[in-house]
Amino acid sequence: MKLAFIGDLHIGHISFNQNVLQMMFDEIDSDREHYRILLMGDLLECATKSSIGAGIIETNLTVDAQIERAIELFRPYRDLIDGIVEGNHEARIYKMTGIDVTKLIAQALDVPYLRYTGVVKYTLGRIRYTVNMWHGSGGAGTIGNSFNKCIKMAEKTVSDVYAMGHTHKLGCTSRQFTIPKTVQVEEITQHFILTGSALDYDETYPDGMNLQRVSPGFPVATFKGSRREISVALKIYNGNH
């Protein structure tokens, strides 16, 4: 089974690069029977007059149109989507109006809405995998700080995979430890994934704040099924789609 983590699209922002998303869709279409999808939040830009940076000046779609566009893009893949969480950009609308735009998207696609965080279980043969997903929060200027936030997810839930968005960084690390059993010990590997984005860098607020340049793209985790083994590939968009 291959699991694609897709988030931080910021549909409606002038720097949303749909080619990055299409690259991921093409990967899924090439092996659709083996793919599943988790949506990591900030699918929409949801800028308001009080947003950080240029806000609504740098958008090209109303929030209503952003919702419609997200539904249109993901409708062909809704049978593969196992969960969606809210991002801080969608939360702007909820805080101002009480309207949960992520829930509206989930209902339109008929996919599980997990609000802030979720643990999704997959069973392949006799092996059960658990994936803990969270959009993320707060600042994380370096990739090290981003991983620290992701790794802290393990303080709340024991899972095989921890996936976090928000920072727009794309990466993966892992750690190993042992769990004592009655007779023997079990070796466990946990994977911590930063789930990337579909935003261009130049002339956007990360560029203006001189933040670290990141590569647009998304991660894909492959679960072997025949044994307790997980590998992670980073699908980086290089401009030659």
State yes or no: pLDDT of 240 exceeds 60: no
Q: Residue 116: which pLDDT band, with cuts at 50, 70 and 90?
A: very high
DSSP one-letter string for the chain: -EEEEE----BTBTTB-HHHHHHHHHHHHHTGGGEEEEE-S--B----TTSSTTGGGGBSS-HHHHHHHHHHHHGGGGGGEEEE---HHHHHHHHHHS--HHHHHHHHHT--B-TTEEEEEEEETTEEEEEEEE---S---SHHHHHHHHHGGGGT---SEEEE-SS--EEEEEEEEEEE-SSSEEEEEEEEEEE-B-B--TTSHHHHTTPPP---EEEEEEE-SSSS-EEEEEEE--S--
The pTM of the full predicted model, rounded to 2 decimals, is 0.93
State yes or no: pLDDT of 209 exceeds 70: no
Q: Residue 241: which pLDDT band, with cuts at 50, 70 and 90?
A: very low
Domains of the chain: 2-236 (3.60.21)
State yes or no: pLDDT of 50 exceeds 70: no
